[in-house]
Amino acid sequence: MEILAILSALRRNKIGALLIAVQVALTLAIVSNCLSVVEQRLQRMGRPSGIDEANIFTLGNQWVGQPTDLKARIDEDLAALRALPGVVDASLTNSVPLRGGGWSNVVMLTAEQKQPTAHTAIYFADAQTLNTWGMRLVAGRWFGTDEIHPIEVNDTSVPAVVIVTEALARALFPDGSALGKDIYIAPTAPSRIIGIVARAQTPFAASSWGESFVENSLFAPDEFINNGITYVVRTQPGRLHAVMHAAESKLFAIEPQRVIDRLQPFAETRAHEYRSYRALSLILGTVCALLLTVTAFGIVGLTTYWVTQRRRQIGVRRALGARRVDILRYFQTENLLISGAGAALGVGLGLALNLWLATSLQITRMSLAYLIAGAGIVLVLSQAAVLLPALRAAAIPPAIAIRSA
Amino acid sequence: MLKMTRLSKIYRTEVVETYALRDFSIHVQEGEFVAVTGPSGSGKTTFLTIAGLLEEFNAGRYELDGIDVRGLNDSRRSRLRNEKIGFIFQAFNLIPDLNVADNIEVPLRYRGLPASERRRRIHEALERVGLSARARHYPAELSGGQQQRVAIARALAGSPRLLLADEPTGNLDTQMARGVMQLLEELHRDGATIVMVTHDPELAIRAQREVHIVDGQVIAVAAQPHLVAGAEMQA
Amino acid sequence: MIKYYLALALRSMQRNIVLTVLMIAAIGVGIGASMTVFTVLRTMSGDPIPQKSSELFVPQIDNWLPAHLNESPNLVGGLLDQLSYRDAMALMRARQAKRQTAMYGVSFTATPTIAGAKPFIVRGLAAYADFFPMFDVPFRSGSAWTAADDAGRTNVVVISGKLADRLFPGGRAVGRTIDLDRRGYRIVGVLKPWDPQPHFYDVPGGAFSEAEDVFLPFSTAIDRQMPIYGDNNCDDLPAPGWYGHLNSECVWLQFWVELPTAAAVQRFRQFLYNYAADQRSIGRFRWAPRVNLQNLHQWLIGEKVVPDEMRVSTLVAFGFLLVCLVNSIGLMLAKFSSRAGELGVRRALGASKADIFIQCLIETAVIGAFGGIAGLALTVAGLGMERMILTESAARLAHLNVAMICTTFGLAVFATVCSGLYPTWRASRVQPAWQLKAQ
């Protein structure tokens, strides 16, 4: 059939065919791996943090000097923030999801346990934190005002009651019976789980270290009395930026001798934490686009050259009865054979590359689906690229057979 | 000048072995104008490519200007070709990118001559073929006859010992052909050694001597070429 | 002859301008992409203090139960990457190195004396006086504090030039007082601009953070109970309060030593081992001594200062360059094959295979040179773009110096010539006879 004839004709132009096949193979290997890495990062970036992101802003607060009446100041600040028009609620904490820095701890089921059952982030919460963060309680209850204790930075007391995220609850008690159970975040005393919220990510969501426990968070009923705290404010929809500025002015009005930094809507916190993922996606995405372009142009260039070399031959075929569409099909079939061989090679290369990336750079393994999808993209692109020179070939007039210069 | 003794050239493909030249001998003295004739496929083109050191041969001996060419490496052969031989091709083979003067300069560049020497030779060669006015023109701007004369100038510029012409008038109309043949005869009168391959008996007549090849072998060598033409018609 | 070949190359490129532009573009883009990414990688993995880096070391002592080690986010060589207060003080007292310093990050609110200026936050580092000569920190005026200040816990600071200019514009800062957290500190020295990248001496504080603005004696900070602005890791609950924290096995301190000779390194290693063995014999460590001494280079690698994302990007970018070069091979084959006629004529006129080879090779080099120029332009543009999307200060600092420019250009020419070797070799083998017959 035609295919065998094409193959034997190719044997006389081995190097050119090899070059295209190698380009296709390399492109496929690289593009499929990049797609896998980017998809994984994008998927991580798309995870919800569990809080009402669109309406939350945070700010860091530090008073000048070492005031001794920190609790009073904090309570005054919070009361003023909560009273601002447009504010749903405000609360105090040590950190928020996706912050980058915060507290982490191990969790054990018994005091004597040597190996931790789970890792978790610890958030200091007050009675308003549930409402401020906009989280959803799925079991039990939130803390009452009388349960909140003031705590300082080197305070090592263990909270008697805690609230955990659903993920942490399941990690600790896979049978779903977490509510009311005791856990140990330090061997000295137990903490009882009195409530479970649906979701709250840790501050470490974009680090490879934190990836294994990104959904595990634990709330301790502690008012964090420290000079260097974070206020979280939740506004009514659409009023975020106005309230942000009002809040800053109000706080300075209460006490000008302070420094407010990182006053930012939560969207900025999220963007900052995931900036390296975004950068990687952009870089890899750009390189892949360029790669596909270069390979496509390479196919166009090389095939155009082959057509020119075989002008006479093509004219003869036409003179002997081939229609334009037959010539077109000839070149498309030829290209499909070469690119197909390249794609087959590329699948192997892609798997090898992925294996190497997985072992040396902790990139997760890519599913075969990416390679198949990648092969599909590359083959379609290749056939599209060859269309132009193939059409030019089909347009060669049969008279060339006789008249060739 | 050009001496081949019992030369053989075999083309081998996967299936077939063809003798392009078989036991071929020819001796061209200095200052001779020899025409090499024969039907198409007779081996005259092969003879020309071997004479011009463009191809190697399988058996026999070839001396060019007293030098035995057997066993010379590519570098030496190229040097020899550059210094001893001037080519005049049927299809002119001028380089379209370069103007007339630069085209003539090409073989001189491979000789390693200084710029002033090259300029002098180009000037002389153009004068010889009567195209000094066209030094800056490009081949596309010249007629066929003019292009062939440029090619002859290129052949002459290196002061070759031997001029090898392959159907020099094949691509020219009658009038231009006449002009080119006149030039070749002039060159011969001035002392050049010319070997011209042609299938045209009218051209062959203008040479001093004719060597007729059929199937890779010399059939006849005649000092009066018109006699050979008659013999062919009878056979 | 070279000039002749160069002229021929330019002419040949002009004749088939589309093909030439395609080739230059492909090479330019390949070089641009890979060099952009590579420049940032080089900056991030560069030696921040080349004149001293071989003499700077980090001691590691494991004061946790080996089973607890996986609770720490950052292990270097299987050991903790920070020291406890107890161990750091023991090392300081022992004075087993030429120079040594413990350090940790702190933060203050600074209140300028200029009327109407608002207070702002400054980042600081609590360290010993040895810090400055050890890291070749350059002074604009004044000097570091003395060992007496270290012992006496005096309220002295060294500040950055930037901070000095902000607080005392146009005037002399040394001798004046700076208000930090409503306490006065006497300025004894002002630094010249100093911002080693990576921020090697305190990686947990931020591998590419800007250098601190305030430096004060370690003992002063401890005495004032200045909170840690950095990483704190505990495996067991410490006793409450500041002193409970100091006496605990929590690790939160950086420690650096200067060891000028191999013998000194050997001695210090032995000292560390003996120290850990002593701690075991007094019952504090219940395990065999686990210590290590890491040179600065090993330390930066162990702390994974260059994020894996950067490595992946570099790999992909160079893979892209490879494809561009394979592409070039094909295009050059096409280019030279279409010139077979002319090259055959040249062979007939006396050019040897070597002459043709050199002619074509020079042509590939010229294309490589143009590709290099295009690549350089694209690298500059690419670095600009990368600066916008990568906010690490290393990316901000990444720029092309002379060495990188030469590397980029050289790589372009070299790579193009390499990919041109096969097509050039094919071109030089053109049979003069065949080409002429096939007219």
The yes-or-no verdict on residue C391 having pLDDT over 70 is no
Nearest to B93 among C12, C351, C436 (CB): C436
Burial class (CB in 10 A: 0-12, 13-18, 19+), B150: buried
pLDDT at residue C394, rounded to an integer: 57
Of C349, C333, C326, C363, the C-alpha closest to C15 is C363
What are the pLDDT digits (tens) for C88-130?
A: 999 999 999 999 999 999 999 999 988 788 899 999 999 999 9
Which candidate from B82, B97, B98 shows the least CB-CB separation from C349? B82
Q: B226 pLDDT exceeds 60?
A: no
Do residues B106 and B86 make contact, with C-beta atoms less than 8 angstroms apart?
no
Greater pLDDT, A9 or C317: C317
Is residue C388 within 8 angstroms of chain A, CB to CB?
no
Contact C352 B78 (CB under 8 A): yes
A262 found inside a domain? no
A269 in a domain, yes or no?
no
What's the confidence (pLDDT) of residue B235?
39
Q: Is residue A52 part of a domain?
A: no
Q: Does A59 reside within a domain?
A: no
The mean pLDDT value for B190-206 works out to: 87
pLDDT at B234: 39
Contacts of C71 in chain A (CB under 8 A): 106, 116, 119
Q: For C399-410, write each residue's pLDDT tens digit.
A: 778 888 898 999
> Which chain A residue lies closest to C33 (C-alpha atoms)?
A287
For an interface test with B, the pick among C8, C338, C436, C439 (most B C-beta atoms closer than 10 Å) comes out as C436
Partner-chain contact A294 C33, CB within 8 Å = no
In a domain, A252, yes or no: yes
Instruction: Judge: C432–B93 Cβ closer than 8 Å, yes or no.
Output: no
Domain boundary among A225, A256, A287: A256
Structural domain of A223? 66-256
Per-residue pLDDT of chain A (405 residues; tens, 9 = 90+): 467 777 777 777 788 889 999 999 999 999 999 988 898 899 999 999 999 999 999 999 999 988 889 999 999 999 999 999 999 999 999 999 999 888 889 899 998 887 889 999 999 999 999 999 999 999 999 999 999 999 988 888 899 999 999 999 999 999 988 999 999 998 889 999 999 999 999 999 888 788 889 999 999 999 999 988 999 999 999 999 999 999 999 999 999 999 998 999 999 999 988 988 888 898 899 999 999 999 998 898 888 888 887 887 787 777 777 778 888 888 899 999 999 999 999 999 999 988 888 887 766 777 788 888 889 989 999 999 999 999 988 888 777 666 544
Shared-domain flag, residues A361 and A312: yes
The reply to whether A296 and A398 lie within a common domain is yes
Question: Is A276–C237 a contact, with Cβ atoms under 8 angstroms apart?
Answer: no
User: In this predicted structure, which of A378-392, B35-49, B147-161 has the lowest mean pLDDT?
Assistant: B35-49
**C107 in contact with A at a CB cutoff of 8 Å?**
yes
Whether residue C220 has pLDDT greater than 90 = yes
Same domain, yes or no: A224 and A175? yes
Q: Does the beta-carbon distance from C329 to A106 stay under 8 Å?
A: no
Residues of C within 8 A of B52 (CB-CB) are 348
Residue A118 shares a structural domain with residue A188: yes
Check whether residue A13 and residue A117 sit in a common domain.
Answer: no
Tell me how crowded residue C44 is: count the other CB atoms within 10 A of its CB. Answer: 24
Query: Nearest residue on chain A to C121, judged by CA atoms?
Result: A259
Q: Average the pLDDT over B30-41 and give the result.
A: 86
Min distance C26 CA to chain B CA atoms (Å): 26
Give burial (CB, 10 Å; 0-12/13-18/19+) of A174: exposed
Q: Is the CB of B90 less than 8 angstroms away from the CB of C439?
A: yes
Chains near B (3 or more Cβ pairs under 8 Å): C
Whether A270 maps to a domain, the answer reads no
pLDDT at C439: 41
One domain for residues A23 and A96: no
Is B in contact with C (3 or more beta carbon pairs below 8 Å)?
A: yes
Distance from CA of B74 to the nearest CA of C (A): 6
Pure H helices in A184-274: 240-254, 266-273
Which residues of chain C from 222 to 281 reach within 8 Å of chain A, CB to CB?
A: 227, 236-242, 244-245
What's the pLDDT at B230? 41
pLDDT of residue B222: 66
Cβ-defined contact of A23 to C326 (cutoff 8 Å): yes
- Residue A53, in any domain of the structure: no
The alpha carbon dihedral of C220, C223, C229, C231 has a sign of: positive
Tell me if B81 and C348 make a contact (CB, 8 A cut-off): yes
> For all residues of chain B together, what is the average pLDDT?
84
User: What mean pLDDT do residues B87-116 have?
Assistant: 84
Q: What integer best gives the mean pLDDT of chain C?
A: 89
What's the pLDDT at B228? Answer: 45
Give the per-residue pLDDT at A215: 95
- Interface touch C240/A290, C-beta < 8 Å: no
B166: chain C residues, CB-CB within 8 Å: 436
**A40 and A75 both lie in a single domain:** no
Residues A102 and A239 in one domain: yes
Could you tell me which residue, C140 or B20, shows the higher pLDDT? C140
Across the interface, do B95 and C352 touch by the CB < 8 Å criterion?
A: no
The mean-pLDDT minimum among A24-33, B133-142, C242-251, C423-432 falls in C423-432
Regarding whether A164 and A227 lie in a shared domain, the answer is: yes
**What is the pTM (predicted TM-score) of this model?**
0.81
Tell me, yes or no, whether A271 lies in a domain. no
pLDDT for B161: 87
Q: Are strands C156-160 and C214-217 parallel, antiparallel or unpaired?
A: antiparallel
pLDDT of B111 strictly over 90: no
Task: Kindly report which listed range (A93-102, A317-326, B26-35, C203-212) carries the lowest average pLDDT score.
Answer: A317-326
Return the residue matching tokens 């011009």: B52
Subunits adjacent to chain C (3 or more Cβ pairs under 8 Å): A, B
- How far apart CA C103 and CA C150 sit, in angstroms, is 12
* Cβ-based contacts of B111 with chain C (< 8 Å): 350
pLDDT value for A156: 82
Distance from C-alpha of C129 to C-alpha of C102, rounded to nearest angstrom: 10
Same domain for A352 and A220, yes or no, is no
Residue B85: CA atoms inside 13 Å, Cβ hemisphere, count? 28
C window 55-84, beta carbon within 8 A of A: 67, 71, 73-74
The predicted model gives C311-337 an average pLDDT of 89
**Any A CB within 8 A of C114 CB:** no
Residue B109's closest chain C neighbor by CA? C1
Contact state of A119 with C71 under an 8 Å Cβ cutoff? yes
Residue B62: its H or E element: strand B59-64
Q: What mean pLDDT is predicted for residues C300-317?
A: 87
Q: Assess whether pLDDT exceeds 50 at residue B22.
A: yes
In this structure, the answer to whether residues A328 and A249 fall within a common structural domain is no
Does the pLDDT at position B137 exceed 70? yes
Contacts of B157 in chain C (CB under 8 A): none
Confidence band for B81, pLDDT divided at 50, 70 and 90: confident
**ipTM, two decimals:** 0.84
Query: Is C78's pLDDT higher than 60?
Result: yes
The pLDDT of residue A100 is: 87
> Do residues A395 and A283 share a domain?
yes
Count of Cβ atoms closer than 10 Å to residue C297 Cβ: 14
Which residues, in sequence order, are bridge partners of residue A174?
none
Q: Given this model, what pLDDT does residue C396 score?
A: 64
